[in-house]
Amino acid sequence: MSNLSDITIFLLLDFSERFEQNILLFIFFLVIYLIALIANFLIISAVSFHNQLHTPMYFFLMNLSVMDLGSISVIIPKATINAYLNSREISYYGCITQVFSLFFFMLSDFFLLTTMAYDRYIAICDPLHYETIMDTKACLQLAAMAWIAGLFYSAWHTSSTFAITFCSNVLNQFFCEIPQLLKISCDNAYLIEVGVIVFNACIFLGCFGFIIISYVQIFKSVLRIPTSQGRNKAFSTCFPHLIVVSLTISTGGIAYLKPTSDYPSDLDVVTAVLYSVIPPLMNPIIYTLRNREIRIVLWKMFKCEI
């Protein structure tokens, strides 16, 4: 491949040459985006405007919804427009922005989920000191640390990726992502790829290990609760978080911990949809279905009675 050092645009995945199929994809992306938009905005509104939800757990949940809105807004609107216009183009700087923003929101999301595990650990294992430990200042600091860590690591990843030279501008993906960019590198991308995999593995294993240790202690404490009602209440606050963590780790791990292949693969597209679209869409739904307080507030917002 020749050296294309003056790339101004990248060509994304060509959805279809048929207008009817592109319209169906346009409708699919639009519906997915609107559902995620409405669901996350409802969570943000419920937590912001109702005093009974002004607790650390719901404060973190509101931040999670903001991150989910950001991550899905990085990808879906551009994919929707491209499907409607039957276009494949994204500018070089648009690609940089997409890579940076996606990593920023995804990593911040994962760091925040780790923080939420710590919040649940304090609430259940040390309830007498919960309000003292998880006061407003501590919550703001923990949330800020998640955002700042996501910002730092996304800047590092993005700058490392776009420091390489590209021999092509064709990406086998409907948005810009690092594994696909490494495939079209003129440089020896093997070391870069190994570095990305090792770094992501360290992040995932470190956060996941902390979450596992936290929940081992949580379940030990819950099992010591004498009443079944108390145990059920404790479990009800933990299960939505566990489901969201499992969804995020499984989809992100499949996408970013697997080695990149040299040939186009439908699996790459499927895994990209899984980690970039499914969590932002499902997270607010999972928390809404599993959390009675949020359901009550949402019903009140619509002037309905439970």
Q: What is the pLDDT of residues 268-297, one digit of tens each?
A: 677 777 778 888 888 888 887 677 788 788
Residues 210-265 pLDDT 10s: 988 988 888 888 888 777 777 777 777 777 878 888 777 777 666 666 655 555 55
Least confident of 38-42, 127-131, 176-180: 176-180
Dist. CA 292–CA 240, nearest whole Å = 11
What's the rounded Cα separation, in Å, for the pair 11 and 169? 6
Q: What is the mean pLDDT of residues 199-205?
A: 77
Query: Residues 36-45: what's their mean pLDDT?
Result: 90
Q: Taking the CA atoms of 251, 107, 192 and 77 in sequence, report the sign of the dihedral they define.
A: positive
Query: 11: which strand partners?
Result: 89, 170
Structure pTM?
0.85
Residue in 226, 225, 229, 239 with CA at minimum distance from that of residue 127: 225
Q: Say if residues 182 and 174 touch (Cβ distance below 8 Å).
A: no
Tell how far CA 222 is from the center of its chain: 29
Q: Percentage of the chain surpassing pLDDT 70?
A: 86
The DSSP letter of residue 166 is B
CA distance 82 to 77: 9
CA atoms within 13 A of residue 111's CA, in its CB half-sphere: 23
Instruction: Choose between 241 and 133: higher pLDDT.
Output: 133
Max CA distance (Å), the chain: 70
What's the average model confidence in pLDDT over 105-115? Answer: 90
Strands (E), the chain: 9-11, 89-91
